[in-house]
Amino acid sequence: MKKLMIAISSLALAAPLLMSTPAMAQTAQQSKMTTCNKDAGEKKGDERKAFMKDCLSSKPAAAPKNAQQNKMTTCNKEAGDKKGDERKAFMSTCLKKDK
């Protein structure tokens, strides 16, 4: 019985420490809220509400395509209706070109 009480006490003391780790990391929404609050600055009332609503509902900008992605898109368009080995050979040479 004594061992059971010690185990329960230990678990009760360790539980808040185990549960606090994920709570420490900010979620994407929390990060967005922090950023929007900074950007809102000294706005008050309805102006602040409107700004925060717009800021929090906006989607992040799409990441720009890198050179390889642009090259792949261009080569895919140029490949057109080629199939099989012909397409594979074309894509290989096209992607190796310096543009």
For residues 48 and 40, the answer to whether their CB atoms sit within 8 Å is yes
- pLDDT, one tens digit per residue, over 42-77 is 889 999 999 888 888 877 666 667 788 888 999 999
Q: How confident is the model at residue 22 (pLDDT cuts 50, 70, 90)?
A: low
Q: Please report the DSSP string for 9-34 in residue order.
A: HHHHHHHHHHHHHHHHSPPHHHHHHH
Q: How confident is the model at residue 13 (pLDDT cuts 50, 70, 90)?
A: low
What crossing angle do the helices spanning 45-57 and 28-40 adopt, rounded to 10°? 140
Predicted TM-score (pTM) above 0.85: no
Q: Which pLDDT belongs to residue 92?
A: 92
Average pLDDT value over all residues in the chain? 81
